[in-house]
Structure 1
Amino acid sequence: MSNLKTKSAKHFKKIALVGKYQAEGFAHMLLNLANILKNLGCEVFLEAETASNTTISQIPSIPSSEFHANIDLVVVLGGDGTMLGIARQIAGQNVPLIGINMGTLGYMTDIPLQDVELVLTEMIKGHFESDVRYLLEAEVLRNKQVIGSGLALNDVVVNRSGISGMLELTVHVNNQFMYNQRSDGLIVATPTGSTAYSMSAGGPILHPSVAGVVLAPIAPHALSNRPIVLPNDATIVIELIGGKDVSVNFDMQSLTQLQIGDQIKICRSNKTVTLLHPVDHSDYKALRQKLHWNEYPSSF
């Protein structure tokens, strides 16, 4: 899907907060965020799991399954892992997300914690850019029966355990045989996920507006087995034909154990999530900052 960015004058009234509640000092930061939003005239709720893991009782809670009918905006306080978790839960609900980064490495949670009051004030007033991201959906088949399924905003990963040997996979794309592969695993990544595990395995970085899917092998036996970018509408079927202690996971957050002969069918989902960024957001600036690319004065 294209990385559509538009300005909007919409004012968000009902806002749900989701957070990395394991972080030190999280409750204090969450209350400060809630007060900023209340001062802007917003009604604030805590996502139910976040609420159950904090001592905050003065803010009402709401489960993520009810966001679509009751919430205008979700604000995530944490990192990309926290954003991935809630994005998968509310995908397709047409509720946008804003990410506030508590750490250092965050592509989707792109607002630094120290800038939150200034930046959020402008965004709540309607000064933001909208960025639509697509997800992958996958089914795990055993003897033609579905034994597992999942959504992934970043990636679907087939890999072995740390103590087992290489695995062997057969890959078909749109019903055409692609290859047999011996490796430690295979990553199927969206453009969003191209800066995650896929990049660590040597895969290319895709701009969010690129309509493609990355296949990146993990430590392949044949060095000629390189990452490849497939069309956005590709249907990928991966079959496990050799290996022990093999699993498939979705955004590293849900997992299904595999047996020889199991197949994973992966395609683009019709569900999307919308990320909101400050008006000065730049994907290239984010890459420079997060990956420490060299930056020189420009005459442009």
Structure 2
Amino acid sequence: MAERFRHVAIVGKHQAPGIRPVLEEIAQFLSSQGLQVALEADTAQATGMTAYGALSPAELGAQCDLGVVVGGDGTMLGFAREVACHGLPLVGINQGRLGFITDIPIERWREALQPILAGDHEVEPRAMLEGEVLRDGASIFAGLALNDVVVSRGATSGMVELRISVDGDFVANMRADGIIVSSPTGSTAYALSAGGPIMHPSIAGWLLAPIAPHTLSNRPIVLPQGEVRMEIVAGRDASVNFDMQSLASLQHGDCIAVRRSRHEVRFLHPKGWTYYATLRRKLRWYEG
């Protein structure tokens, strides 16, 4: 039986010039389909759209049964993380540059959205990372990420040294500008620039990729979905980022523990969508 939506959340990259007319068109279209529409509060405030309810991300996650994100991948990453605990399915309309996870072109939103609302769509679950920073055995920071967790050296020159273990097994001491622990979703983001492989989203694994490692044999490695621990051994003012959430000034002995979250993101795509077609279209993968 086709999924019937009733209450739709709209989130926009409200800093983008000229986005209000597009958001208004989408909101009016959804209303014309008999759907209740609510805007994310910051989107409503920044655009001055007052004809619809304005709710916080937590309220949208609890009250809505579909989210429409208009923006780039950064907009989707931020909102997906905020509503992950509610299991809200998300549709991405690209108003940014690459648009890898906001895959519907802005000029085709109407023809793509109509069948999705009717239940004719592909459902794609994506695993998420969760983790914490431990200092003297106590948690001082916790975060959730769809793309990656990145430990980086400070602003001063010099590498960071990290002791890496997976499920309690020692892997290596790595000296580099940083280390990326990436989900399959994040394998086409920062980790790809660091020389990592592309991982299909259905793979139950993580990618560990050093950033500019001191030893050339420290290559990226695909790991099973266990707990990855990274202990700061050396380096000044290192920081950790969970997608866009960050903690600076890590200390020697601090441990960053990363594992699979019990939450996941559900993307809805137009019927016939495939990950391989996205790679070809967005990354020019195997072109020629």
Q: Normalised by the shorter chain, which TM-score bucket?
A: over 0.9
1:3 — aligned with what?
none
1:37 CA displacement: 1.1
Could you tell which deviates more after superposition, 157-166 or 131-140?
Answer: 157-166
- Tell me, yes or no, if the aligned pair for 1:85 and 1:253 is still in contact at 8 Å: no
Is 1:70 the equivalent of 2:63? yes
| CA–CA separation in structure 2 for the residues paired with 1:295 and 1:230 | 28
User: Which residue in 2 is equivalent to 1:184?
Assistant: 177
2:265 is the counterpart of 1:273? yes
| Corresponding residue SS for 2:86 | coil
1:1-300 equivalence runs, <5 A:
9-232=2-225, 234-295=226-287
Worse-matched range after superposition: 146-155 or 103-112: 103-112
Contact 2:38 2:60 in 1 (8 A): no
**Would the aligned equivalents of 1:17 and 1:76 in 2 still touch at CA under 8 Å?**
yes
Distance 1:212 1:294, change over 3 A: closer
Identity of aligned residues (%): 51
Deviations 1:67-93 (A, max 9, x none): 343101000000110000011101121
Distance of 2:47 and 2:283 partners within structure 1: 33
Contact residue 67 and residue 93 of structure 1 kept, 8 A: no
Letter in 2 for 1:287: L
Q: Does the 8 Å CA contact 1:76/1:98 hold for their aligned counterparts?
A: yes
Contact 1:100 1:110 in 2 (8 A): yes
- In structure 1, distance between residues paired with 2:34 and 2:9: 14
The total of aligned residue pairs comes to 288
Say whether the 8 Å CA contact 1:247–1:258 is kept in structure 2.
yes
* Alignment deviations for residues 153-202 of structure 1 (CA, whole Å, 9 cap, x no partner): 00000001343311111011111111001100000000000000000100
CA deviation after TM superposition for structure 1 residue 295, in Å: 3.8
Opposite residue 110 of structure 1, the aligned amino acid is: D
Q: Output the TM-score relative to the length of structure 2.
A: 0.97
CA distance in 1, matches of 2:56, 2:46: 13
In 2, the alpha carbon distance for the partners of 1:71 and 1:293 equals 36
RMSD: 1.3
8 Å contact from structure 1 (residues 148, 256) kept in 2 = no
C-alpha separation between the residues in 1 aligned to 2:163 and 2:121? 44
Describe the superposition over 1:204-252 as per-residue Cα deviations: whole angstroms up to 9, x where unpaired.
10001111100000000000001001002x1111000111121000013
Q: 1:82 to 1:264 in 2, by over 3 A?
A: same
Instruction: Identify if the C-alpha distance between structure 1 residues 86 and 53 changes in structure 2 by more than 3 Å, giving closer, same or farther.
Output: same
Question: SS in structure 2 opposite 1:105?
Answer: coil
Alpha-carbon distance in structure 2 between the residues aligned to 1:128 and 1:226:
38
Q: Residue 257 of structure 1: CA displacement?
A: 3.0
Cα 1:255–1:49 change in 2 (3 A) is: farther
The runs of at least 4 consecutive aligned structure 1 residues that moved more than 4 Å come to none
TM-score by length of 1: 0.93
